[in-house]
Structure 1
Amino acid sequence: MDDRRSSALVDNVAQLRAAFKTTRIEKPFTIDTIVILPDHLHVIMTLPENDSDFSGRWRRIKSLFTHRLVASGVPVVRNHRGEFGLWQRRFWEHTIRDDADFERCADYIHFNPVKHGLVASPIDWPYSSLHRYIRAGILPADWGGSGEITGNFGRRGE
């Protein structure tokens, strides 16, 4: 999201989920890992074989979500170009290289609410695929505890 003071995503999580659902029907993909924060989100998605249209999917998700908000009367500010200022113009794409890279990125995503000071433990954040991982027995319920996870999580220079 463009406005880091916004809480539009968690305030309107049902509309965001609907935008994802519609986009997945139109342009299939799997959500492997996700966290929705007040002002931004992180997701690892898998596209069908021989399909690399991440941009089209993000464009559709953003458009559907924004139009749902506007239609429901939520005030959405336009920027100086006349575009809705709800979203950043770009997204960061990273191709997962191997299982270790997937694990680093998934850990970063699941720990993000703690990193941003929203909760003391990742399990306390309701808008996270961490809960699905715990139900499936992939991670323990106390994963991430209330301490710091070390590592650069695929990002350079940290």
Structure 2
Amino acid sequence: MKNTSPLQPETYYHIYNRGINGEDIFKKEGNYDYFLLKYTRYINPIADTFAYCLLKNHFHLLIRTKSEEEIQTINNNSNRVLNPVRVNKTSSQIISLQFSHFFNGYTQAINKQNDRTGKLFELPFRRIPIEHDYYFSRLVYYIHFNPQKHGLIDDFREYPHSSYHAHLSDKSTKLQRKEVIDWFGDKKSYKEFHQSFQDLRDINPVTFD
């Protein structure tokens, strides 16, 4: 059953979705970078991102929505939101609208590139609120493990379209890298956790119904 509850401020979520009827949402290699570019434009102002993985026909995100005060401040500051939303909206409405702009903007570009029409993503997109601390490290692993789970690659640590390597890098990133590494203890523990197969039975199963 789909969770369609409005996204609330200052809440951790596992966000995931796929192409309509299972259609590929990344049709060319350059689409992965474009997806992240659009994501940065529309979602970074209203949420912090901890982990992600982009697959041919679906994606996974681990985010924390920003506080009500931050979201309302951003809403009233057109210099920080590139597609400003109307005033007098609740924070949940602002979050939802930014996700809508994100999906619509990406869809329009893919449709133009591939001479297609219509929706690209299934709606509504899936969201699972995260309420237990022990869940975080396992969810990061689960998100990174997805390409191997679906048979796209033999070793998910070699997959190029996830946040795994960005967490280990010293290069600038928009991810909340320090907080992620702190969940594991340090980079060494992060790598060791990812090197060992993890029991993921306590992770809510991802279903596309």
Matched, 1:97 2:131: yes
Contact 2:141 2:194 survives alignment (8 Å): no
Matched, 1:61 2:61: no
Cα deviation, residue 58, structure 1: 2.5
Provide runs of 4+ in structure 1 moved above 4 Å.
Answer: 51-54
Quickly say closer, same or farther: Cα 1:33–1:10, change in 2 above 3 A: farther
Identify the match of residue 194 of structure 2 among 125, 143, 148: 143
Q: Counterpart in 1 of 2:201? A: 152
Q: Which 10-residue stretch deviates more, 88-97 or 129-138? A: 129-138
Matched, 1:8 2:32: no
Cα deviation, residue 93, structure 1: 1.1
Q: Distance in 1 between matches of 2:57 and 2:28?
A: 8
SS at 2:22 equivalent: coil
Contact 1:9 1:36 survives alignment (8 Å): no
* TM score, norm. by length of structure 1: 0.77
Q: Distance in 2 between matches of 1:97 and 1:45?
A: 13
SS at 2:53 equivalent: strand
String of CA shifts for 1:86-130, please: whole Å, max 9, x gaps.
Answer: 101122211111321112221111111110001111211101011
The structure with the largest alpha-carbon Rg is: 2
Q: Distance in 1 between matches of 2:27 and 2:63?
A: 18
Identify the match of residue 140 of structure 2 among 106, 123, 144: 106
* TM score, norm. by length of structure 2: 0.60
Percentage of identical aligned residues: 18
- The one-letter code matched in structure 1 to 2:66 is P
- 1:116-135 pair list within 5 angstroms: 116-135=150-169
- The one-letter code matched in structure 2 to 1:35 is C
Q: Distance in 2 between matches of 1:5 and 1:45?
A: 24
Q: Which 10-residue stretch deviates more, 135-144 or 86-95? A: 135-144
**What is the root-mean-square deviation in Å for CA atoms of aligned residues?**
2.7
Q: Which structure shows the bigger proportion of residues in strand conformation? A: 2
- Greater relative CO (CA pairs within 8 A, separation 6+): 2
Contact 1:43 1:109 survives alignment (8 Å): yes
Which ranges of structure 2 fall in alignment gaps of 5 or more residues? 1-18, 69-90, 170-180, 182-186
Matched, 1:38 2:79: no
Q: Counterpart in 1 of 2:42? A: 23
Cα deviation, residue 28, structure 1: 2.5
- 1:47-86 pair list within 5 angstroms: 47-50=65-68, 51-52=91-92, 54-71=95-112, 73-78=113-118, 84=119, 86=120
